[in-house]
Amino acid sequence: MIMKPLFSLLLISSLVALNGVAMAQDGVKVGDMSLFRKLAPTGAMEGQAAQQYLQTMQQAQQKHALAPDNHPQVIRLRAIAAKLKPFALRWNERASQWNWEVNLLGSKQINAYCMPGGKIAFYSGILTTLKLTDDEVAIVMGHEIAHALREHGAARAGKSMVANFGVRLAEVVAGVKGYDPHLAGSVAGGVANLGMLKFSRDDETEADVIGLDIAARAGYDPRAGVALWQKMGMASKGAPPQWLSTHPAGKNRIAEIQRHLPEVMPLYAHAKGADLNAMSPYLSNVKGIAPVDYP
């Protein structure tokens, strides 16, 4: 008589524990951060980034290219960032110590970035040329924040140190064996450069995936990523082939986003308090881009 209630209690406790694990592991799954980042001190990277960011903003202000705090687009960007930041901590606890900044630079460039330490900059060109909706801004911003959270800059610096050492070693070995060290160095350098491009594409893919997760938890539609990269494809005709680019090809990025929608759409539905199976398609504000549905 005692064993039955005890067994039931243990079963319920186990289910609760398993449910807790499932909840803790919801969203996208990525591997551990690169060990190469440990070759470049994180604190130093963040300090350098803060100085560089300050200099960039000062130069922009001197050229009257820094949007003021009361600019509607600055207000918009900072409001979106405020919604995203709480969901950054699960990816890097250091983010709670960052002195986050968000600014807008007047430029036709289709670009945005987030430096180590949470220093975010958007160029007006990416907003106006692509006619970004709030959901699409959140996808871009989540992607850039993910780079900082995963310390991709520090990892690339570490990889570069290792690659440079490899080139020097190839030159030394070639010299010892009687070969032209400059030729050996050039060959090794070419291989290293292709390797760095591949590393960079991997970083971009990881940032895409984590950015979707962050945006979805903040209540922004992850399906906007599909429309975003369709817009980007319209604006970047003539881009270099994927194997010579630091960014994956647009079609590949769209396919990757679609592959992860089953992981992030439930997060978005939960944030919106909506029924996942009854959600309307994501509608782009640009003609020629079809509604993005799920599933």
Is 188 within the bounds of a domain? yes
Strand partners, 29: none
User: Contact at 8 Å (CB) between 246 and 191?
Assistant: no
Is 78 within the bounds of a domain? yes
Q: Residues 134, 254, 234, 248: is their CA dihedral positive or negative?
A: positive
Is 233 within the bounds of a domain? yes
- Look up 144 and say whether it is catalytic: yes
Number of domains in the chain: 1
Is 284 within the bounds of a domain? no
What pLDDT sits at residue 61? 97
Residue 57, Cβ density class (10 Å: 0-12 exposed, 13-18 middle, ≥19 buried): middle
pLDDT in single tens digits along all 295 residues of the chain = 434 444 443 343 443 333 333 333 588 988 776 554 555 566 667 889 999 999 999 999 999 999 999 999 999 999 999 999 999 999 999 999 999 999 999 999 999 999 999 999 999 999 999 999 999 999 999 999 999 999 866 756 655 555 454 445 444 544 555 554 554 344 434 444 434 445 478 888 999 999 999 999 999 999 999 999 999 999 887 666 555 566 777 889 999 999 999 999 999 999 999 999 999 999 999 999 999 999 8
What pLDDT sits at residue 39? 55
DSSP the chain: --HHHHHHHHHHHHHHHHHHHHHHT-S----PPPGGGGGS-HHHHHHHHHHHHHHHHHHHHHTT-BPPTT-HHHHHHHHHHHHHGGGTTTT-GGGGG---EEEEE--S---EEEETTTEEEEEHHHHHHTT--HHHHHHHHHHHHHHHHTTHHHHHHHHHHHHHHHHHHHHHHHHHTTS-HHHHHHHHHHHHHHHHHHHHHHHHHHHHHHHHHHHHHTT--TTHHHHHHHHHHHH-TTPPPGGGSSS--HHHHHHHHHHHHHHHHHHHHHHHT--GGGPPPB--SSTT---B---
**Phi, psi torsion values for 235, nearest 5 degrees:** -90, -10
Is 107 within the bounds of a domain? yes
What pLDDT sits at residue 188? 38
Is 290 within the bounds of a domain? no
DSSP 125-166: HHHHHTT--HHHHHHHHHHHHHHHHTTHHHHHHHHHHHHHHH
Is 177 within the bounds of a domain? no
Is 5 within the bounds of a domain? no
**Phi, psi torsion values for 100, nearest 5 degrees:** -65, 140
What pLDDT sits at residue 31? 77
Q: Which of 101, 144, 171, 204 is catalytic?
A: 144
Q: Which two tokens stand for residue 238?
A: 């003539």
Q: What is the distance between the terminal CA atoms of the chain, rounded to a whole angstrom?
A: 48
Q: Record the pTM.
A: 0.77
User: Contact at 8 Å (CB) between 278 and 231?
Assistant: no
What pLDDT sits at residue 184? 39
What pLDDT sits at residue 213? 98
In the sheet that holds 112-115, the strands lie side by side as: 101-105, 119-123, 112-115
Q: What range does the domain containing 49 cover?
A: 35-159+182-278
What pLDDT sits at residue 158? 55
| Residue pointed to by tokens 């007047």 | 106
Q: Which two tokens stand for residue 190?
A: 């070419």
